Amino acid sequence: MDIKQNFFEFYGLPEVFDIDLGLLSQRHLELQKKLHPDRFAHLSDQERRLSAQYTAYLNEGYATLRASLLRAQYLLKLQGIDTHNESSAPMDPAFLMQQMELRERLEDAPQHADPEAELAALGEDVEQMMAPLQAEFCSQITVPAEASLHAAAAAVRKMQFLDKLRREIERLEDDLY
């Protein structure tokens, strides 16, 4: 194990979007066992510190690779594009218009005759928009060309808006029930 490796290397997985999530969990358990603090109890302070460092890296790696959006963002970051921390990027106006409408629908949901059903429907719409973006990302990120990389980043930026919406829907569901 080496924390200079990227998360994919660390987990012994191919550097792709469509990873085997079952295999990821399995590797995670194996690595966790190897790094269990009890096994290092008899070791020096320095070695224990190192073990804690590995464990932190392991957990961050697992969280990053398990979630599809974080995994996509991480793949882009490995290619030098950080869509998670950039301050602004021009977006397609039609897409923004659609986002605005979805947010308005979410805002009106509590006044809906059946708020629960409306929120569920909204959530489904978000997932339906998310799927083709993931497919787009998946096909573009594998192509080693500048234009494809930018197309992959554009898909991830849209996924970030939808992910925000997804969290807002969940928050409202928590508030209502």
Partner 1 sequence: MAYSEKVIDHYENPRNVGKMDAADHSVGTGMVGAPACGDVMRLQIKVSDTGVIEDAKFKTYGCGSAIASSSLVTEWVKGMTLDQAAELKNTQIADELALPPVKIHCSVLAEDAIKAAVADYKQKQGR
Q: What is the binding site for partner 1 (CB under 8 A)?
A: 83-89, 91, 93, 96-97, 99-100, 103-104, 107, 157-158, 160-161, 163-165
**Residue (36 or 164) nearer to partner 1, CB:** 164
- Residue with smaller CB distance to partner 1, 94 or 147: 94
Nearest distance in Å: CB 1, partner 1 = 32
Smallest distance, partner 1 to C-beta of residue 166, A: 10
For partner 1, which is the closer residue by CB, 34 or 164?
A: 164
Would you say 35 or 106 has its CB closer to partner 1? Answer: 106
Closest approach, Cβ 93 to partner 1, in A, equals: 5
**Nearest approach, Cβ of 35 to partner 1 (angstroms)?**
33
Nearer to partner 1, 43 or 97 (CB): 97
Least distance to partner 1, CB of residue 159, Å: 9
Question: What is the DSSP track for the chain?
Answer: --TTS-HHHHTT--SSSS--HHHHHHHHHHHHHHT-GGGGTTS-HHHHHHHHHHHHHHHHHHHHHHSHHHHHHHHHHHTT--TTT-S-----HHHHHHHHHHHHHHHHGGGSSSHHHHHHHHHHHHHHHHHHHHHHHHHHHTS-SHHHHHHHHHHHHHHHHHHHHHHHHHHHHHHH-
- Residues 136, 159: Cα–Cα separation, whole Å: 11
* Residues in Cβ contact with 166 at an 8 Å cutoff, skipping those fewer than 6 apart: 123, 126, 130
